[in-house]
């Protein structure tokens, strides 16, 4: 959908200087705030991705919904851009783009209803702590593998784990959201309360409201999980063939939903080769994994290595998370990186060959460290694909793969060669794809170089100033994820019947 230029102009943030009056307005009993130059400010404004350095006018830590609403009102009345931060793991540090940053880490309540199999989770919780709390009740929900990722961003923009083919994305399991609108109004969104807002929150949430608590649907997890990895050393053309065979395996089998997987690509042993792995989690009867993957292994060259970890549910999450799930036990990490993503159908031969040629040559000579993950969203029995495209504001869920391209220098400065390498890699795929190949980007792997990306940042007061019609909300939602989704190419699958 094309938007009138005027709308985009209205959405541009108004930049005002930090002032003493802001400091005094944010002096709210019980609320901790950090301002530039103060002790604690550097820590409070440090992003996960050190490629970015942002200097918000204030980083504020409310503890109650009322306090959070008061802080939002200060922003609203002064026409300042307000953003929320949950786990702070945004790829582009956009939680820190606000002039007022509201850190929700004090919103840590988790209450589980084991009979209804639901949980109300404070938006300041991180995935590892959530998994531990639910596991106390023998319950679980789908989400990504990194324990330190916050539920605030994760559930707004997607949320993929190896359990997502069984249970959907994290946002597919949101039942209701307690939130604060851009004018400070406290509200709830669900299928029955503010349903348009509920639609927009699931896919474009950060542009509409700050979530304080989210009610999720829960599941009884499998008792035993096998984390598997099958590894090969392949030439570029061998790898192009191996990905083609994987696509055929997925399309031709009746792959059960309990098979969660991705193809992981890393630097090859020699120039011209690629390290190629099929990794994932088997969440079904442990005796049935070997038979399930056999058709693929039979079609492939001999394995270079394989590894298996078998454990109960929570042990499998610890294994995938690389250690403890308790994020209070050890401090969070940082990285310095550039990442891109593609949500797409299968890659045709020309794309696969061009892609693996770059991966096996530039991917070997570059001094940046990188990995690519071709995550299986679709295939038979996928709960992600089963949700109708227009059910939420999250686009491209009908895709077969979401591929993440990640290149890190660990610490700043980030070299120009890192950008060039990743751009070349992704271009090798898209420029060799057929003209009707539908692709977009994944909002949880937000990319700053996409045009309009910044439109997804900050609460849009427009929602309140304009009549809150479905059309307006749809427009804002489209704009909100324009950066990550439409900018690459119009997301044609976002059309909604009857909606303008």
Ligand X SMILES: *[C@@H]1O[C@H](CO)[C@@H](O)[C@H](O)[C@H]1NC(C)=O
Ligand Y SMILES: Cc1cc2nc3c(=O)[nH]c(=O)nc-3n(C[C@H](O)[C@H](O)[C@H](O)COP(=O)(O)OP(=O)(O)OC[C@H]3O[C@@H](n4cnc5c(N)ncnc54)[C@H](O)[C@@H]3O)c2cc1C
Binding of ligand Y at residue 83 (CB under 6 A)? yes
Binding of ligand Y at residue 277 (CB under 6 A)? no
User: Shortest gap between Cβ of 426 and ligand X (angstroms)?
Assistant: 18
User: Which does residue 287 bind out of ligand X, ligand Y, none, counting CB within 5 to 8 angstroms by kind?
Assistant: ligand X
Backbone angles phi, psi at 90, to 5 degrees: -50, 140
Of 33, 69, 86, 382, the residue at the interface with ligand Y (CB under 6 A) is 86
User: Shortest gap between Cβ of 449 and ligand X (angstroms)?
Assistant: 19
Of 45, 129, 147, 154, the residue at the interface with ligand Y (CB under 6 A) is 154
User: Which does residue 145 bind out of ligand X, ligand Y, none, counting CB within 5 to 8 angstroms by kind?
Assistant: ligand Y
What's the rounded Cα separation, in Å, for the pair 38 and 46?
14
What's the rounded Cα separation, in Å, for the pair 406 and 13?
29
Instruction: Using the rule CB under 6 A, give the single segment among 3-11, 36-44, 141-149, 421-429 that binds ligand Y.
Output: 141-149
Of 128, 153, 280, 418, the residue at the interface with ligand Y (CB under 6 A) is 153
Handedness of CA 368, 154, 477, 490 (dihedral sign): positive
Instruction: Decide whether 257 or 480 has the Cβ nearer to ligand Y.
Output: 480
Of 31, 104, 112, 426, the residue at the interface with ligand Y (CB under 6 A) is 104
Determine contact, residues 151/144, Cβ cutoff 8 Å.
no
Instruction: Decide whether 140 or 149 has the Cβ nearer to ligand Y.
Output: 149
Binding of ligand Y at residue 397 (CB under 6 A)? no
Backbone angles phi, psi at 144, to 5 degrees: -70, 180
Instruction: Decide whether 57 or 103 has the Cβ nearer to ligand X.
Output: 103
Binding of ligand Y at residue 88 (CB under 6 A)? yes
Instruction: Decide whether 42 or 116 has the Cβ nearer to ligand X.
Output: 42
Of 45, 69, 90, 341, the residue at the interface with ligand Y (CB under 6 A) is 90
User: Shortest gap between Cβ of 299 and ligand Y (angstroms)?
Assistant: 28
User: Which does residue 266 bind out of ligand X, ligand Y, none, counting CB within 5 to 8 angstroms by kind?
Assistant: none
Instruction: Using the rule CB under 6 A, give the single segment among 90-98, 358-366, 416-424, 467-475 that binds ligand Y.
Output: 90-98
Instruction: Decide whether 40 or 451 has the Cβ nearer to ligand X.
Output: 40
Instruction: Using the rule CB under 6 A, give the single segment among 146-154, 217-225, 273-281, 356-364 that binds ligand Y.
Output: 146-154
User: Shortest gap between Cβ of 440 and ligand X (angstroms)?
Assistant: 29
User: Shortest gap between Cβ of 152 and ligand Y (angstroms)?
Assistant: 2
User: Which does residue 160 bind out of ligand Y, ligand X, none, counting CB within 5 to 8 angstroms by kind?
Assistant: ligand Y
User: Shortest gap between Cβ of 379 and ligand Y (angstroms)?
Assistant: 17
Residue from 201, 96, 157 nearest 444 by CA: 157
* DSSP-derived pairing of the beta strands 100-103 and 82-85: parallel
Binding of ligand Y at residue 393 (CB under 6 A)? no
Instruction: Using the rule CB under 6 A, give the single segment among 23-31, 81-89, 356-364, 420-428 that binds ligand Y.
Output: 81-89
Instruction: Decide whether 65 or 248 has the Cβ nearer to ligand X.
Output: 65
Binding of ligand Y at residue 146 (CB under 6 A)? yes
Q: Give the 3-state secondary structure of the chain.
A: CCCCHHHHHHHCCCCCCCCHHHHHHCCCCCCEEECCCCCCHHHHCCCCECCCCCCCCEEEECCCHHHHHHHHHHHHHCCCCEEEECCCCCCCCHHHCCCEEEECCCCCCEEEECCCCEEEEECCCEHHHHHHHHHCCCCECCCCCCCCCEHHHHHHHCCCCCCHHHHCCHHHHEEEEEEEECCCCEEEEECCCCHHHHHHHHHHHHHCEEEEEEEEECECCCCCEEEEEEEEEEEHHHHHHHHHHHHHHHHHCCCCCCEEEEEEEEECCCCCEEEEEEEEEECCCHHHHHHHHHHHHHHCCCCCEEEEEEECHHHHHHHHHCCCCCCCCCCCCCECEEEEEEEECCCCHHHHHHHHHHHHHHHHHCCCEEEEEEEECCCCCCHHHHCCCCCCCCCCCCCCEEEEEEEECCCCCCCHHHHHHHHHHHHHHHCCCCCCCCCECCHHHCCCCCCCHHHHCCCCCHHHHCCCCHHHHHHHHHHHCHHHHHCCCCCHHHCCCCCC
Binding of ligand Y at residue 211 (CB under 6 A)? yes
Binding of ligand Y at residue 203 (CB under 6 A)? no
Backbone angles phi, psi at 22, to 5 degrees: -65, -45
Q: How many residues bind ligand Y (CB under 6 A)?
A: 33
User: Shortest gap between Cβ of 120 and ligand X (angstroms)?
Assistant: 9
Binding of ligand Y at residue 444 (CB under 6 A)? yes
Instruction: Note the residues at the interface with ligand X (CB under 6 A).
Output: 40, 43-44, 64-65, 103, 105, 107, 109, 132, 181, 183, 185, 233-235, 238, 269-270, 273, 287, 290, 301, 306, 326, 328-329, 367, 415, 417, 464, 468
Binding of ligand Y at residue 260 (CB under 6 A)? no
Contacting residues toward ligand Y, per CB under 6 A:
48, 83-91, 94-95, 104, 123, 144-146, 149-150, 152-154, 156-161, 205-206, 210-211, 444
């Amino acid at each position: 959908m094309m938007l009138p230029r005027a709308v985009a102009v209205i959405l541009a943030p108004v930049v005002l200087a930090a002032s003493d009056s802001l400091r005094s307005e944010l002096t709210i009993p019980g609320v901790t705030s950090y301002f530039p130059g103060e002790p604690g400010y550097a820590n409070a404004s440090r992003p996960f991705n050190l490629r970015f350095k942002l200097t918000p006018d204030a980083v504020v830590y409310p503890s109650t919904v009322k306090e959070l609403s008061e802080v939002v009102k200060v922003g609203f009345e002064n026409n300042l851009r307000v953003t929320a931060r949950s786990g702070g793991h945004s790829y582009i540090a956009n939680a820190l783009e606000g002039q007022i940053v509201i850190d929700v880490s004090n919103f840590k309540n988790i209450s589980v209803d084991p009979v209804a199999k639901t949980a109300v989770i404070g938006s300041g919780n991180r995935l590892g702590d959530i998994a531990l709390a639910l596991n106390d009740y023998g319950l679980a929900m789908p989400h990504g593998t990194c324990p330190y990722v916050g539920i605030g961003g994760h559930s707004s923009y997607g949320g993929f784990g190896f359990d997502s083919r069984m249970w959907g994305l994290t946002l597919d399991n949101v039942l209701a959201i307690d939130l604060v609108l851009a004018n400070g109004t406290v509200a709830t969104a669900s299928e029955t309360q503010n349903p348009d807002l509920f639609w927009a929150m699931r896919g474009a949430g950060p542009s509409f409201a700050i979530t304080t608590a989210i009610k999720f649907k829960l599941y009884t997890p499998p008792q035993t999980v096998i984390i598997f990895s099958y590894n090969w050393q392949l030439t570029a053309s061998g790898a192009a063939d191996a990905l083609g065979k994987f696509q055929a395996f997925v399309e031709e089998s009746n792959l059960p939903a309990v098979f969660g997987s991705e193809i992981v690509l890393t630097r090859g042993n020699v120039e011209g080769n690629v390290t190629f792995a099929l990794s994932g989690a088997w969440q079904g009867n442990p005796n049935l994994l070997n038979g399930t993957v056999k058709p693929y292994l039979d079609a492939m060259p001999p394995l270079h290595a394989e590894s298996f970890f078998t454990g109960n549910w929570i042990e499998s999450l610890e294994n995938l998370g690389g250690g403890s799930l308790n994020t209070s036990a050890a401090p969070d990490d940082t990285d310095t990186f550039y990442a891109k993503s593609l949500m797409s159908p299968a890659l045709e031969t020309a794309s696969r060959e061009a892609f693996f040629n770059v991966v096996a040559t530039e991917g070997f000579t570059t001094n940046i460290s990188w990995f690519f993950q071709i995550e299986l969203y679709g295939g038979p029995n996928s709960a992600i694909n089963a949700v109708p495209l227009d059910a939420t504001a999250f686009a491209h869920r009908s895709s077969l793969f979401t591929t993440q391209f990640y290149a890190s220098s660990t610490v700043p400065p980030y070299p120009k060669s890192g950008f060039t390498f990743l751009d070349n890699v992704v271009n090798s795929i898209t420029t060799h794809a057929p003209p009707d190949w539908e692709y977009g980007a994944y909002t949880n792997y937000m990319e700053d170089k996409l045009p309009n990306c910044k439109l997804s940042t900050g609460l849009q007061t427009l929602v309140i100033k304009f009549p809150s019609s479905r059309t307006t909300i749809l427009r804002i939602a489209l704009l909100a994820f324009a950066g990550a989704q439409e900018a690459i190419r119009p997301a044609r699958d976002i059309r909604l019947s009857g909606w303008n």
